[in-house]
Amino acid sequence: AEAGDAPIKIGVSIPSADHGWTGGIVWWANKAVDDIKAEQPGVFEFRVVTADSPSSQVRNVEDMEVWGMEYLVILPHESAPLTPIVKQVQSSGVRVFVIDRGLTDTSFGYVNIAGDNTALGTNSGKWLREQMAAQGLTNYVAMGGLPVTIDTERMDAFFTEMNKDSSLINLLGGNNYEFADWSTQKGLSLMETFLQKYRKIDAVFCQDDDVLLGVLQAIKESGRTDVKIALGGAGSKVVYKMIMDGDPLVKATATYHPSMILDGIHYATEVATGERSDDFHDASSPVTVTIPSVLVDASNVADFYEPESIY
């Protein structure tokens, strides 16, 4: 709907940058806002608000509702705590765009631009399984992020895929894996310990490209040559570069890219300016736009690498 004089108010609620990927979210959100402001000056008014916890994110949404937002783009910290408040603002007329994590209630109308955690796990698992089989490798170690819902989804999908090949042995046994907190440093020290614990490690899956940097550092410093494959995830700029440059260990990554927040904000502005329909709002279930997780390797990395991006 074309607004008259008053700018259209769009609220963007995202987690604060507590690791590399969320840092990327903050960066891409701000980039989207800056781009749009430059292209269409005066049409929109934005609030980009970060939250360090689900409860402070609830606060932020409440505050933005008072501010008078007409559109809400939100990447929930956790689904369950945010669902009631999002549902409430939706029912008061705010158009809602939920990024990445879906809500626990799917009985009202919003757009869900979903990253695909399961696909990340599946893609990673499938690629790793095939690579290992091809090279005759059997041992691998795995690291999760933090014990939260999305992490569980990724890891479950990953292991499901890996377990399809019984020749592969997960050294940590079944689904028992360590958490690297999506932090480079934790990845580093965890890998150091793994390298002590296991005489021979063929491959590492750590699910996140920040963690991967730490893992690689640990391998490098240990001087061990047994590790043949190191697989992260999400698709950071640094890792793309490594794939492009033909890194011996890093050959792929499954995308789960923070630029999805940009897609969400663009979606919202397009609805606001009437370029896209807002039918979804009155529907009785969300419209889901899944951003697929793509496996990026040497063959397609050039399409994904964006040097000016922060992540």
Partner 1 sequence: MNDNTITHDNRSLWSLIVRAVKGFRFSEHSTGMAFIILFLLAIIVGWPNFLRIRNLVNILRQISYTGIIGLGMTMVIISGGIDLSVGSMTAFVGGITIFFLNLFPGDSHMAVLAAGLFAVLFGAFSGLFNGLLVTKGRIAPFIATLGTMSIFRSLIQYFSGAGNILSENTFYPEVGAGSVLGLPVPVWMFFIIAAILHIVLNNTRFGRYICAVGANEQVARYSAVQVLKIRLIPYIITGATVGVTALLWSSRLNSINSSDCIYYELDAIAAVVIGGTAMTGGKGTVIGTVLGAIMLGMINNMLVLGGVSSYLQQAAKGLVIIAAVLLQYNKKN
| 66 part of the interface to partner 1, by CB under 8 A | yes
Of 117, 183, 207, 269, the one binding partner 1 by CB under 8 A:
183
- Told to check if 18 binds partner 1 by CB under 8 A, we report yes
204 counts as binding partner 1 under rule CB under 8 A: no
Can you read off the two tokens belonging to residue 85? 């408040």
Establish if 64 lies at the interface with partner 1 (CB under 8 A).
Answer: yes
Of 257, 269, 236, 261, nearest in space to 50 by CA: 261
Phi, psi values for residue 295, rounded to 5°: -85, 115
**Nearest alpha-carbon partner for 95 in 104, 86, 103:** 86
CA 118 to chain CA centroid, Å, is 11
Which residue, 92 or 284, has its beta carbon nearer to partner 1?
92
C-alpha span between 76 and 69 (Å, rounded): 17
Member of 3, 68, 279, 298 binding partner 1 (CB under 8 A): 68
222 binds partner 1 (CB under 8 A): yes
Q: Is 17 near partner 1 (CB under 8 A)?
A: yes
> Segment 250-309, which members bind partner 1 (CB under 8 A)?
none
Q: Is 47 in the site for partner 1 (CB under 8 A)?
A: yes
Question: Which range of residues in 14-22, 112-120, 157-165, 284-292 is near partner 1 by CB under 8 A?
Answer: 14-22
Find the shortest distance in angstroms from Cβ 274 to partner 1: 25
Confirm or reject binding of residue 118 to partner 1 (CB under 8 A). Answer: no
Of 25, 7, 79, the closest CA to residue 256 belongs to 25
Give the Cα separation of 277 and 270 in Å (integer): 9
Q: Which of residues 239-258 bind partner 1 (CB under 8 A)?
A: none
The nearer residue to partner 1, 282 or 308, going by C-beta atoms, is 308
User: How many CB atoms are closer than 10 A to CB 271?
Assistant: 22
Q: Does 7 bind partner 1 (CB under 8 A)?
A: no
Judged by beta carbon, residue 73 or residue 295, the one nearer partner 1 is 73
Phi/psi at 107 (nearest 5 deg)?
A: -105, 20
Q: How far is CA 172 from CA 24, 69, 191, 198, 203, in A?
A: 31, 48, 13, 10, 13
Interface residue with partner 1 among 91, 135, 149, 285 (CB under 8 A) is 149
Ramachandran angles phi, psi of 228, nearest 5°: -105, -30
CB 203 within 8 A of CB 132: yes
- Give, as one character, the DSSP assignment of residue 180: -
Which positions from 124 through 143 interact with partner 1, judged by CB under 8 A? none
Contact status: 185 vs partner 1 (CB under 8 A): yes
Q: Does 311 sit near partner 1 (CB under 8 A)?
A: yes
According to CB under 8 A, which residues from 85 to 104 bind partner 1? 104
Q: Which is nearer to partner 1, 143 or 295 (CB)?
A: 143
Pair of tokens at residue 241: 């570069």
**Does residue 217 interact with partner 1 by CB under 8 A?**
yes
Candidate residues 196, 225, 277, 284; the one interacting with partner 1 per rule CB under 8 A: 196
Q: Which stretch binds partner 1 (CB under 8 A): 51-59, 121-129, 259-267, 279-287?
A: 51-59
Q: Does 221 contact partner 1 by CB under 8 A?
A: yes
Residue 279: how many other CB atoms lie within 10 Å: 10
Residue 87 tokens, joined: 């549902």
In sequence order, what are the beta bridge partners of 96? 72
